[in-house]
Amino acid sequence: MAEDNREELPSVGDIDKMIHEPARLLIVAHLFVVESADFLFLMRQTGMTFGNLSSHMSRLEAAGYIDVEKEFVGKKPNTKLSLTRSGREAFEGYRQSMRQLFADGAPGNPEESGNHGQRS
């Protein structure tokens, strides 16, 4: 059974590194649960600084995962961010890989292997 699980686990190469980086994962996860949010909202929710958020935002935009729209709210400029379709698909794929990884238990983890043994 342990062998079967090992075959289903995602390989390192399957994990999307653009999303796997913790700061970008937070940004994408927060955008995944809403339709759109502005720069300030993401700063507050993720606890990231302006510069840090800005640099990760540029990378995600270059990868085609987020859509950045500049607009004016009243007289003030506002940056609205939303996930693109490919961004959503990438995050869903990433979640699925991680769920699979955590649910099945990492190979070589004696505790998890023990549990599997007890269950079967």
Partner 1 sequence: MSDALDVDGLERKAYLVYNEDGLLDIITGFLMVFIGYYVLSKVDIPFAPFLAIFGPAVWASLKKAVTEPRIGRVKFGPGRRSRQQKVIMAFAVAVNVLLVLSFFVKTGPFLGPWRTTLYTYGVILVGSGIVSLILFTIGHFNEVSRFKGYAAVSVPMFVAGHFLTDPGLDLFQRLAHVMIPLGLLMLAYGGVTLWRFVRKYPKITDVGVDG
Would you tell me which residues interact with partner 1 (CB under 8 A)? Answer: 22, 25-26, 29-30, 32-45, 49-51, 54, 73, 78, 80, 95, 98-99, 102
Q: CB nearer to partner 1: give 50 or 115.
A: 50
Angle between the N-to-C axes of helices 39-46 and 50-62, in degrees from 0 to 180, rounded to the nearest 10: 110
Q: Which is nearer to partner 1, 10 or 32 (CB)?
A: 32
* Closer Cβ to partner 1, 30 or 116, answer by number: 30
Minimum distance between the CB of residue 3 and partner 1, rounded to whole angstroms? 27
- Residue 46: CB atoms within 10 Å: 19
Which residues have a Cβ under 8 Å from the Cβ of 30 and sit 6 or more positions away?
37, 42, 45, 46
